[in-house]
């Protein structure tokens, strides 16, 4: 993979993974427009794994306080860290961890058919999925913001979010978009929906990194020339991901997430035009 290809993938990977606009769909369109190397062949597996690292770094920087408290409580809950004298547990956070595990199960199951989903490269199908993703975001914005938080969220709420994210593995659908849409539909508050979405995304990205790394060892081809594209992909995805999160927060605070629905519909039209040109 060439350096400029890794940079393009890194920029779009960092932004699209952390915004409700689908990196899978964008990678299909980018390959068609710029004739890029595939992320599922040769050194592309290593670049894909590097992008996941950059996305994780962006989330850790953006949600450092939440991640530290979440990690501390997780270690206490699993017994990997002993409670210090005078240290108290956080029952609300422990409940969130318990419910989040149920959301993670279907999400991680999606890794079993990720390879099959990546074979969907027909532009017409991707265009339809882009349009569907935009519709979900639009309907999400039409509903009033709920008030559920860590104390009142239900198991059924987190399960539905997990299953929605599982289906978002297909190119054109966004896991962040589906999370926010289901969270709004189930009455979660914006603040809690954002925290839950990105904590789930962080856990999934860690699993996805291992998944792509294993695939790289099994099916990819590592050479010394892939090291620089990997580093650049990780760097650009981290920077793009960090600014994407800040932009998402900005729009969420102003209740203007419908911007992404218009973006997805524009992407659907462009993808459909490309499909007609190639047919």
Cβ neighbors of 73 (< 8 A, separation 6 or more) are: 89, 90, 93, 94, 97
Q: How many CB atoms lie within 10 A of CB 108?
A: 17
User: In this predicted structure, what is the pLDDT of residue 147?
Assistant: 87
Q: What is the DSSP string of the chain?
A: --HHHHHHHHHHHHHHHHTTT-HHHHHHHHHHHH-PPPTTSTTHHHHHHHHHHHHHHHHHHHTHHHHHHHHHHHHHHHTSSPPPTT----HHHHHHHHHHHHHHHHHHHGGGGHHHHHT---HHHHHHHHHHHHHHHHHHHHSPP--B-TTT--HHHHHHHHHHHHHTTSTT--HHHHHHHHHHHTTB-HHHHHHHHHHHHHHHHHHHHHHHHHHHHHH----GGGHHHHHHHHHHHHHHHHHHHHHHHHHHHTT-THHHHHHHHHHHHHHHHHHHHH-
User: In this predicted structure, what is the pLDDT of residue 199?
Assistant: 85
- Determine the Cα–Cα distance for residues 192 and 83; give it in Å rounded to an integer: 27
User: In this predicted structure, what is the pLDDT of residue 95?
Assistant: 79
- Determine the Cα–Cα distance for residues 94 and 75; give it in Å rounded to an integer: 11
User: In this predicted structure, what is the pLDDT of residue 78?
Assistant: 67
Q: What is the DSSP string of 25-40?
A: HHHHHHHHHH-PPPTT
User: In this predicted structure, what is the pLDDT of residue 114?
Assistant: 86
pTM recorded for the entire structure? 0.90
User: In this predicted structure, what is the pLDDT of residue 131?
Assistant: 96
User: In this predicted structure, what is the pLDDT of residue 80?
Assistant: 62
Give yes or no for a contact between 252 and 194, defined as CB atoms under 8 angstroms apart.
yes
Q: How far is CA 150 from the centre of its chain?
A: 21
User: In this predicted structure, what is the pLDDT of residue 218?
Assistant: 87
Counting as low any pLDDT under 70, the low residues of the chain are 77-83, 85-89
Q: How many CB atoms lie within 10 A of CB 89?
A: 12
């Amino acid at each position: 993979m060439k350096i400029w290809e890794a940079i393009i993938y890194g920029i779009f990977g960092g932004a699209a993974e952390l915004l409700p606009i689908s990196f899978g769909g964008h990678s299909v369109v980018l390959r068609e427009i710029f004739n890029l190397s595939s992320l599922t062949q040769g050194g592309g597996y290593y670049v894909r794994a590097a992008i996941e690292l950059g996305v994780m770094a962006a989330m850790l920087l953006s949600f450092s306080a939440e991640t530290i408290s979440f990690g501390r409580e997780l270690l206490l809950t699993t017994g990997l860290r002993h409670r210090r004298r005078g240290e108290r547990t956080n029952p609300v956070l422990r409940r969130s961890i318990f419910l989040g595990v149920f959301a993670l199960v279907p999400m991680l199951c999606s890794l079993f058919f990720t390879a099959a989903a990546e074979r969907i490269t027909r532009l017409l199908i991707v265009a339809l999925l882009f349009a569907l993703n935009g519709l979900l975001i639009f309907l999400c914005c039409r509903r009033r913001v709920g008030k559920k938080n860590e104390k009142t969220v239900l198991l059924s709420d987190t399960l539905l979010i997990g299953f929605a994210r599982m289906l978002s593995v297909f190119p054109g659908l966004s896991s962040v978009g589906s999370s926010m849409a289901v969270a709004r539909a189930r009455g979660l508050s914006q603040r809690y929906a954002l925290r839950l979405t990105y904590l789930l995304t962080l856990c999934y990205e860690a699993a996805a990194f291992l998944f792509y790394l294993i695939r790289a060892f099994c099916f990819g081809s590592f050479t010394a020339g892939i090291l620089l594209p990997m580093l650049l992909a990780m760097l650009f995805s981290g920077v793009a991901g960090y600014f994407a999160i800040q932009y998402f927060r900005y729009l969420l605070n102003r209740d203007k997430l419908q911007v992404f629905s218009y973006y997805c519909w524009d992407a659907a039209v462009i993808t459909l035009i490309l499909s007609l040109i190639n047919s």
